[in-house]
Chains A and B, each alone.
Chain A
Amino acid sequence: MLNRDYIFLLLKNHRGLTLFGFLLSASLQFLIIYLIVVLNPAPLVAAFLDKLPLQLRMLFQQEFITSFSLEGAAAFGFNHPLVLTTLGILAIIVPSRHLTGEAENGTLELLLSYPFRRRELLFSLWLSGSLLLLMVVCGGWIGSLSALSIYHQLTLPVFFKLIEIGFNLWLLFTLVMSYTLLASSLGRESGKVATRSAGLTLIFYFLHFLSSMWQSLAFTKPFNIFSYYQPQKLMANQQSFLLNVVVLVGFILFCLSFSFFHFQHRDIPG
């Protein structure tokens, strides 16, 4: 089911971006927690917001205020747009380049002439992508846990919450990778597949924000993948981690099985 050599090849091919993501998430988490511990801005922000007119105060959600607490900040690092962007790029680039891209340039045709099953290729590709995403998430864990330990703020509940959040983040982007894999198993041009997957992810992302501000869009929440990853709410025990896992794993399995089916029956142009 797995091909070790192919997995090593993929991990090696994307080590640059993964290392960048790892360092970015580690340093960002460390920096955010350091700033919160040293400056303790939560009371200042609360006092400032109190002085704002009600209409302006409405613009700032509770999540914004809680992000200035230590737990909130630790969760915020896992939701930073830079980290999400890096993970998104990695999740989209791996399947689109190695499936559609290689079908386009002929490498896939050659690869499939070797004693290498299609499902072995697809599953190895999926696993490599998941491992690369996990490495970036590991950066976030290392950054958070080391900062919390250094400043003596690490408690067991926070430790477990951070593990949950990281795992939830990993599942979210594994889903992004899985639907890109599905699109790649159907598509013929890697550029188009990557653009469409990125577009869909951005739509989900912005819709997630808009639906929390506008009640008329609230009906979209159950259908939005970002609804199943809200780190601040997870940290504050306002969201069920188990529900997130079940929904995301369900979608991942759905995308994976369709990818297997389509790739198994697909003609690889020479």
Chain B
Amino acid sequence: MVLGKPLPEAALEVRRRCGYLPGNFSAYQNMTAEEFLSFIARLRRTSTSIQPELTERFQLTGKDLAKKIKNLSHGTRQKIGIIQAFFHQPELLILDEPTIGLDPLMQDVLYDLLREFQQKGHTIFFSSHILSEVEKICQRVAIVRDGHLVALETLDDLKKKRYRRLQLLLKREVDNLNLPSASLIEHRGLYYEFVVKGEMQELLQALARLPVENIVFPEPSLEEAFMAYYRGTDDA
């Protein structure tokens, strides 16, 4: 079921209500960008009224739109791909690596557009290997490994369950340093590095008793969570 409709029976209606940007966006090379967008609008039997607003946001000029797709830069082609996915105001948007080829400024334009869509109550499936951008805009994350869904959680929950790295620099040597819920992975003189998973209370109490010079205990990144899943570790 997609959008409350059974598949494949209602495939056509579902597709009408979806927007899609493939990872490797490719269009008819001999068409101009304008011709391509009009062609898509006719296929979708929808008006092209939203297009001017989108082309303006993505800084596409009339000159860009009049060029054949084969003559456009990769970034401009990607912008056309994004516009064709958005312009009919889909209820469900599926984007596969949408920021490829976009400069940082245009990436921000896209993020803003996605947030606006989220606020309007639309659903966005955003596939990316750039985890920093996933952290920026996604609320729920699914991790797929070997074609199987291995995790589907909110971003916060996913991070909470992950190992965190704890780096300690002590003022003096401590014999047999053991911390609850933590395993030592590196020790060089007064420098210690642990991986932590589990209850924080006991750990913090143990740390309070130590002669700590410096402590680094960063938020777990999505990258670490992702890598743990991809390494396929049992405790991931």
Q: Mark A100-118, 1 if CB is under 8 A from B, else 0.
A: 0000011101110111110
Asked if B111 lies at the interface with its beta carbon under 8 angstroms from chain A, I say no
- Our pick among B15, B23, B96 for the contact of A114 (Cβ within 8 Å) is B15
- In the complex, residue of chain A having the shortest beta-carbon distance to the beta carbon of B31: A9
Q: Does A222 contact B (CB under 8 A)?
A: no
Complexed CA–CA distance, A136 and B20 (Å): 38
A115 touches B42 (CB 8 A): no
CB-defined contacts of A110 to chain B, threshold 8 Å: 20, 22, 25-27
Do residues B43 and A5 form an inter-chain contact, with CB atoms below 8 A? Answer: yes
Interface check B160, CB cutoff 8 A: no
Which residues from chain B contact A116 at a C-beta distance below 8 Å? 15, 43
**A205 beta carbon closer than 8 Å to chain B:** no
A81: which B residues are within 8 A, CB to CB?
A: none
Minimal beta-carbon separation of B82 from chain A (angstroms) = 13
For chain B, give the interface size range.
20 to 34
Q: Mark A45-65, 1 if CB is under 8 A from B, else 0.
A: 000000000000000000000
A2 → chain B, closest Cβ, in Å?
13
Judge whether B39 and A9 touch: CB under 8 Å.
yes
A204 within 8 A of B: no
User: With a CB–CB cut-off of 8 A, which chain B residues contact A6?
Assistant: 43
A residues less than 8 Å from B13 (CB atoms): 115
B27 lies within 8 A of A115 (CB): no
Contacts of A107 in B (CB 8 A): 26-28
C-alpha gap A113/B20 in the complex (Å): 7
Closest CB in chain B relative to A232 CB, distance in Å: 40
Contact A3 B12, beta carbon cutoff 8 Å: no
**A6 to B31 alpha-carbon distance, docked (Å):** 13
- A157 sits at the interface (CB 8 A): no
Residue of A nearest to B13 (CB): A115
A257 at the interface (CB under 8 A from B): no
Q: Which residues in A have their C-beta under 8 angstroms from that of B31?
A: 9
Contact A106 B26 (CB under 8 A): yes
| A residues contacting the other copy or chain, number (CB 8 A) | 17
Is there contact, CB below 8 Å, between A113 and B15?
A: yes
**B30 beta carbon closer than 8 Å to chain A:** yes
Task: Report whether A113 and B42 are in contact in the complex, using a CB–CB cutoff of 8 Å.
Answer: no
Measured CB to CB, the closest approach of chain A to B235, in angstroms, equals 33
Residues of chain B lying within 8 A (CB to CB) of residue A115: 12-13, 15-16, 43-45
**Contact assessment for B20 and A106 in the assembled complex, using a CB-CB cutoff below 8 Å:** no
Chain B residues, CB < 8 A from A113: 15, 18, 20, 22
> Which residue of chain B has its CB nearest to the CB of A109?
B22
In this assembly, does B24 line the interface, its C-beta being within 8 Å of a C-beta of chain A?
yes
Per-position 1/0 for B4-39, Cβ under 8 A of A = 000000001101101010111111101100000001
A5 touches which one: B15, B23, B42 (CB < 8 A)?
B42
What are the residues of chain A within 8 A of B26 when measuring CB–CB?
105-107, 110
The chain B residue sitting closest to A117, CB to CB, is B12
Q: Mark A1-39, 1 if CB is under 8 A from B, else 0.
A: 001011001000100000000000000000000000000
Whether A13 pairs with B25 at a CB distance below 8 angstroms is no
State whether A114 and B28 are in contact (beta carbons under 8 Å apart), knowing that A109-B22, A270-B22 are contacts in the complex. Answer: no
Q: Known: A110-B20, A110-B26, A270-B24. Contact between A5 and B39, CB under 8 A?
A: yes
What B residues does A13 contact at CB under 8 A? 28, 30
Tell me the bound Cα distance from A5 to B156 in angstroms. 47
Q: Roughly how many angstroms separate A255 CA and B22 CA in the complex, as a whole number?
A: 31
Contact B12 A106 (CB under 8 A): no
Check: B138 CB closer than 8 A to any chain A CB: no
Asked if B179 lies at the interface with its beta carbon under 8 angstroms from chain A, I say no
Q: Does B40 contact A (CB under 8 A)?
A: yes
Given contacts A106-B26, A113-B15, list 20 more A-B pairs with CB under 8 A: A3-B43, A5-B39, A5-B42, A9-B31, A13-B28, A13-B30, A106-B22, A106-B24, A106-B25, A109-B22, A111-B43, A113-B18, A113-B20, A114-B43, A114-B44, A115-B43, A270-B22, A270-B23, A270-B24, A270-B96
Q: Can you list 11 A-B pairs with a CB-CB distance of less than 8 A?
A: A3-B43, A5-B43, A6-B43, A106-B25, A111-B43, A114-B40, A115-B12, A115-B15, A115-B43, A116-B43, A117-B12
Q: Which residues of B contact A (CB under 8 A)?
A: 12-13, 15-16, 18, 20, 22-28, 30-31, 39-40, 42-45, 96
Closest 3 CB pairs of A and B: A113-B20, A106-B26, A115-B16
User: Which A residues form the contact surface with B (CB < 8 A)?
Assistant: 3, 5-6, 9, 13, 105-107, 109-111, 113-117, 270
